[in-house]
Amino acid sequence: MAGKIKITIDGKEIEASPGEKILWAALDNGIYIPHLCAGRDHHPPSASCRLCFVEIEGYPQPVTSCTQEVTGGMVISTRSERLDRIVGTGFEMIMTNHLTDCKACPKNRSCELQKIARERKFRLKPPRLPRLDRELPVDDSADGIKHDPNKCVLCGHCIRACREKGAGVLGFARRGFERVVTTFNGAPLGESGCNSCTACTLVCPVGALTLKV
């Protein structure tokens, strides 16, 4: 194919388009790299979930594959002791802050966190760190949408979807550990101007924004 370049991921030689990010090249070729916040059309990438780390030959530190462009002849690995440790710790931290109630969750079996845990053999309830629950109120004021911020992983997909397809009422607020996805002034979704397009529920990788049943 014209204009394509060759890279190696985990010993497998694959073709990628110049300028493409490693994450998408890998996923397109059946190589899984954990990720929550990345999107193909995100410019610049959010790079906030910190789960898609890979190692590249010649680079001293692991890099996030959602931000790193491929170059010809690049030799990449998605697994190593060092990578497993960083990604494992990141995942563990997210899980301590994610209400893990899988059996009662509508996202059970289609949850991105379950997928990462399965692929990388991580535990959904890691024993090393204590839980960091925030016990925020669940918002089911909008037609058709239920928002449980205790499950949110702050990937930002819903905010993007709401701006592109919906009424654009969602956004990030507060800082540090208090950071949340919310509406203007923290109004309940039903009073925020939300038009119940449910685009947010389609992109939420976990069970934070779900269709009301």
Partner 1 sequence: MSNKNASPALEQLRDQAIKNRASLEGKTLILVGTATCGRAVGALDVVRVFREEIERLQLDAAVIEVGCMGHCYAEPMAVIYKPGEPGICYGYLNEGIAARLPQDYLVEGDPCAEFALAAMEVHEYIPTFQDFPRGLIEQKAVMEHCGYIDPENIENYLAVGGYGSLAAALDRNPSEVIGEIKDSVLRGRGGAGFPTGLKWEMCGGSQEKTRYVICNADEGDPGAFMDRTILESNPHLVIEGLAIAAYCAGAAKAYFYVRAEYPLAVERIKKALQQAEKLGIIGKSMLGTKYSLDIEVFQGSGAFVCGEETALIASMEGEPGLPRHRPPYPAVAGLFGKPTVIDNVKTLSYVPLIIKNGAGWFRSIGTEKSPGTAIFALAGKLVNTGLAEVPMGTTLSQIIYDVGSGIAGNKKFKAVQIGGPSGGCLPEETLDTPVDYESLSKAGAMMGSGGMVVLDEGDCMVEIARFFLDFTQKESCGKCTFCRLGTKHMLDILERITKGEGRPEDINLLLELAEDVRAGSLCNLGKTAPNPVLSTLRYFRQEYDAHINEKRCPSLMCKDLIAYYILPDKCERSCDACVGSCPVEAIFSNEDRIKVINQEKCVKCDSCLVACPPQYRAVIKVSPPDEVLRREKGVK
Q: What residues contact 85, with CB distance under 8 A and at least 6 apart? A: none
Of 151, 165, 158, nearest in space to 204 by CA: 158
Among positions 123-142, residues that touch partner 1 (CB under 8 A) are 128-130, 132
Report the amino acid identity of residue 24: W
The single residue among 79, 85, 123, 125 that binds partner 1, judged by CB under 8 A, is 85
Q: Check residue 75 for interaction with partner 1 (CB under 8 A).
A: no
3-state DSSP of 2-17:
CCCEEEEECCEEEEEC
- Closest contact distance (angstroms) between CB of 1 and partner 1 is 28
Q: Which of 7, 94, 111, 142 binds partner 1 (CB under 8 A)?
A: 94
| Tokens found for residue 87 | 């990604």
Q: Which stretch binds partner 1 (CB under 8 A): 21-29, 110-118, 171-179, 203-211?
A: 171-179
Query: Which residues, other chains included, contact 175 with Cβ-Cβ below 8 Å and sequence gap of 6+?
Result: none
Please give the Cα distance from 16 to 9 (Å, whole number). 11
Determine if 60 is a binding residue for partner 1 (CB under 8 A): no
Nearer to partner 1, 172 or 184 (CB): 172
> Of 135, 94, 113, nearest to 205 (Cα)?
113
* Count of residues near partner 1 by CB under 8 A: 33
| Minimum CB–partner distance for residue 171 and partner 1 (Å) | 9
For partner 1, the closer of residues 14 and 62 by Cβ is 62
The residue within the footprint of partner 1, chosen from 154, 159, 181, 204 (CB under 8 A), is: 154
Q: Is the peptide bond before 60 cis (omega within 30 degrees of 0)?
A: no
Q: Is 97 in the site for partner 1 (CB under 8 A)?
A: yes
Q: Binding of partner 1 at residue 176 (CB under 8 A)?
A: yes
Q: Could you list the residues that contact partner 1 (CB under 8 A)?
A: 44-51, 53, 61-62, 64, 67, 85-86, 89-90, 93-94, 96-97, 128-130, 132, 154, 172, 174-179
